[in-house]
Amino acid sequence: MTQHSGLAHPGSGAPLRRLCDVAVAIAVPAGTAPLVPSPSDGTADLTSAVALVVDSAVGPGVYGERMATPPAGLAFCVFPTVIGHCALVWRAPGTIVGSALPHGSADRTRDAVARWYPAARETTPDAVIVTAMAEVTTLLESGTGDLSGIALDLDVVPAFDRRVYHVVRMIPPGATLTYGEVAARLGAPGAAQAVGQALGRNPFPPIVPCHRVLAAGKQVGGFSARGGRRTKLRMLEREGVHLEHPTLFDL
């Protein structure tokens, strides 16, 4: 088994990974939430053309890199989902510090965690994290579920980004907002570009469901996860959102 810089694998890595897989399998799935129409407040999104590209410019590990003194006991686990191997990073007592959507393989997802959170160690998850893993798995598989009960560590997240994430966490499966609509709900209707930048730094996908935020005219917009807009469309379609006539530029 290949060892990766910055990670400590106790003993053989394979048994630990199997434990993570089993943990997801035995957890109780999250309850479902109804699909609702996409809300619209009619806000003009004049700057979202820029937001199409800014949210792919900065990786979500930017906050991990800002931790001058990483919290003690930072841990992570990689787990399988229908779209690939995701990861959760946490600290005691089960507060999520970051997460990762698939990077093409389990090892590549581990490598991303190692870059973003070099103090984290791969660990068998406790009951709180097992539940969070199961809720994420259910959402990605069925497009239903409520992740709002998962506790997030926002200590190093700037105030504006926190406000963006708070609004975006309130978007249920099956609904969407545009960058401009999120900005309007923040009381800053001209801040669509800043919203896009904050979502590009989102360290908590899909717990903070940035895939539910679109460009003006309900176009796909940007997405910084592997697969880009195709991944975003796939996640939205599982939640019952079918965008009309996506263009080659959108994909």
Which residues belong to the active site?
210
* Residue position matching structure tokens 């989902």: 81
Those residues with Cβ within 8 angstroms of residue 149's Cβ, 6 or more apart along the chain or in another chain: none
For residues 196 and 50, the answer to whether their CB atoms sit within 8 Å is yes
Two structure tokens written together for 214: 């679109």
For residues 175 and 125, the answer to whether their CB atoms sit within 8 Å is no
CA distance 239 to 187: 28
For residues 199 and 55, the answer to whether their CB atoms sit within 8 Å is yes
Please list the alpha-helical segments (H only) found in 74-105: none
Two structure tokens written together for 102: 């698939």
How far CA 100 is from CA of 231, 240, 241, in Å, comes to 13, 23, 22
What does the DSSP 8-state code read for residue 79? E
How far CA 157 is from CA of 117, 176, 188, in Å, comes to 15, 23, 19
CA distance 138 to 140: 6
CA distance 242 to 75: 36
7-40 burial, b at 16+ Cβ within 10 Å, e below that, comes to: bebeeebeebbeebbebbeebebbeebeeeebee
